[in-house]
Amino acid sequence: MSRFHPLSSTVKQIASLPFYWIDLMDANEAIALLQPYSSCDISDALHRLPSSDFGQLTDIHLISPSPLTHPDTRICGPAFTVEFVKSHAITTSTTSKLHHMDRVPENSVVVIKAPSGPNAVFGGLMAARAMALGVKAVVVHGRVRDRKELAEYGSSLPVFANGFSTLGASPFMKVGSSDHIGDGVGGSVTVPGYDSSDIGYPAVVVATGDLIVADIDGVVRVPICHVMQIAQICKQLVTADAHCMDDIKTGRSLTDAFAEHRKRPLQQ
């Protein structure tokens, strides 16, 4: 279903609510509010917020378990970020002796951002440690390896990534901070957007504590301060699309269904 239809007046009112209107909530409350909605639903809502960066982590897909055998895979949880940088960028002041996967909190979604390169930054040994710590899922802007080992964990540890490699991180990359603030673990990462002559899609900043929603369609980031707004907008949009689907299945045209339930014709 399209992500670009006009807003109803109700959705516009919700999207315009000031940030201070949002009550503070813990992660479990936020997760419960977003539970009914897919990554597509949430993307539809996110791009309706003022000054939104859309939230999608571009070109990251479900790697394990297979989307063909586990199409209902869906995770939602608080992000814990890890940043890799090129090895030559590391200084002694930006490194930690403790392995980054030993610092990950239980029930978190590990979000790893790596610079462009041919090597992996996540594999079987780190997956085993993540399982032992009770991590919900791992999202990698970069490559992973040890596909057989990742597959053995199946739905117990969903892994999302850009692709695969036989190469490990060393000697190409190490954990560290690109801005030399902190050691690259538990802070924030900037996932690049997409630029072409026709489309400009902004980079997305993922901060530790943001919510990550991921399923077979993709991965999106939701700041905690926007969760209530997003949930309310999703409810409006999903209801409208359900009415459209019912009409379309009975033979009604898209034009007529959209005109009634989305108020104005679809804009492509």
Residues 27 and 202: their CA atoms lie apart, in Å, by: 26
Give the model's confidence band at 6: pLDDT under 50 very low, under 70 low, under 90 confident, else very high: very low
Confirm if 174 and 90 have CB atoms less than 8 A apart. Answer: yes
Give the model's confidence band at 50: pLDDT under 50 very low, under 70 low, under 90 confident, else very high: confident
* 176 known member of a binding site: no
Nearest to 104 by CA among 130, 68, 140, 131: 130
pLDDT tens for each residue of 88-138 = 876 555 566 789 999 999 999 999 999 999 999 999 999 999 999 999 999
Judge whether residue 18 has pLDDT over 60.
Answer: no
Residue 81 parent element (H or E): strand 74-86
Please provide the average confidence, as pLDDT, over all residues in the chain: 86
Looking at domain 54-222, its CATH superfamily turns out to be: Ribonuclease E inhibitor RraA/RraA-like (3.50.30.40)
pLDDT tens for each residue of 224-252 = 989 999 999 999 999 999 999 999 999 99
pTM value surpassing 0.75: yes
* 117 known member of a binding site: no
* 102 known member of a binding site: no
Residues 78 and 25: their CA atoms lie apart, in Å, by: 13
Locate the domains of the chain by residue range. Answer: 54-222
Helix extents (H) in 39-165: 39-46, 124-133, 147-153
Judge whether residue 3 has pLDDT over 50.
Answer: no
Residues 84 and 104: their CA atoms lie apart, in Å, by: 15
* 41 known member of a binding site: no
The pLDDT, as a whole number, for residue 95 is: 61
**Stretch 158-164: mean pLDDT:** 97
Judge whether residue 10 has pLDDT over 70.
Answer: no
Residues 80 and 188: their CA atoms lie apart, in Å, by: 8
* 142 known member of a binding site: no
21 vs 184 pLDDT, higher one = 184
Residue 9 parent element (H or E): helix 9-15
* 125 known member of a binding site: yes
Judge whether residue 77 has pLDDT over 80.
Answer: yes
The pLDDT, as a whole number, for residue 154 is: 85
Confirm if 68 and 27 have CB atoms less than 8 A apart. Answer: no
Judge whether residue 139 has pLDDT over 60.
Answer: yes
